[in-house]
Amino acid sequence: DIKAFIFDLDGVITDTAEYHYKSWQKLADEEGLYFNREINEQLRGVSRMDSLEIILDGKELPEDVKKEMTDRKNNYYQKYLKKISKDDILDDMESKIIDLKEQGFKIAVASSSRNARKVLKNLKISDLFDTISDGNSVENAKPAPDLFLHTAEKLGVKAEECVVLEDAESGVEAALAANMIAIGVGPDDRVGKAHLVFSTVKEIDFEEILEKI
C-alpha cells in the first residue's frame, strides 16, 4: 500500500532550471568554459559539484579551485532565489499536495539542492511537508538511492510504500534504485524509465497514479 509521496523540488514544485542556467552560464563565460542550454539540461537533479564536473568535461582542476567556482555559481544563483515567491509554485501543485495530505498520505521533499529549504521558504510551503531532505542530508547524491531511503526512514515508511515524483533522469534512477514507485515528469528521453510518465507538471493526476500502480 502507498503511504507516502516524495516530491523532488526543482522542476516538480517550482522551475529553477533557468536560474541555474543563467548562473552556470555566467561562471562558464568568466572561466572560458563551453556551456549552453543543452548542457544545462543534463544538470537537472545533479548535485552542484557533479554539475561542475559535467561542465568541465574532463578538465582537471585542484579541489580548492573547483570549490571556489561552485561557491561563485551559488552566489549568482542565490541572487535569483531572492525573486522567488508563492507565484512560482508550478500550476496547482500546492492544492494537489494539500489534497494528498487530507487523504492521509505522508508528504516529503527530497531535493539534491542545498538551497531547497530557502526555495521552500520563499514559496511559503515549508509547513506542508512532514519532512524535508536536501543536498546536505546524505553523502551520495542522486542517482544513488540514499536521499530517498533517508526520507522514507524519516517518514517511518518502507521504500515500497513510497511514490517519488521526479523531472530528472538521475532522480528517476535514484527512485528505482531505492525500490520506490517512480513517476516521471517530462519527455520520455529524460524520464521514460519511470513506472508512469506525465509530460508536464500540470498533467500530473494523483488519482490516476493511485489507480495504476
The verdict on whether 189 is a catalytic residue reads no
10 is an interface residue for ligand G6P by CB under 6 A: yes
Q: Which is nearer to Mg ion, 29 or 108 (CB)?
A: 108
Give the angle 169-175-176 at the CA atoms, nearest 5°: 90
CB of 76 to ligand G6P, least distance (A): 11
One-letter amino acid at 162 equals C
210: which 3 cell numbers? 493511485
Helices (H), 86-179: 93-102, 116-123, 146-155, 169-177
Q: Contact positions toward Mg ion, by CB under 5 A?
A: 8, 10-11, 45, 167-168
CA distances from 19 to 46, 139, 143, 204 (A): 15, 25, 22, 24
Task: Candidates 5, 19, 28, 48: give the one binding ligand G6P (CB under 6 A).
Answer: 48
Phi, psi of 137 (to 5 degrees): -75, -35
Among ligand G6P, Mg ion, none, the one that 20 touches (CB under a kind-dependent 5 to 8 A) is: ligand G6P
Q: Per the annotation, where are the binding residues for substrate?
A: 8-10, 24, 43-48, 51, 73, 111-115, 142
Q: Per the annotation, where are the binding residues for Mg(2+)?
A: 8, 10, 166-167
The residues binding ligand G6P (CB under 6 A) are 10-11, 20, 43-48, 51, 74, 111-115, 135
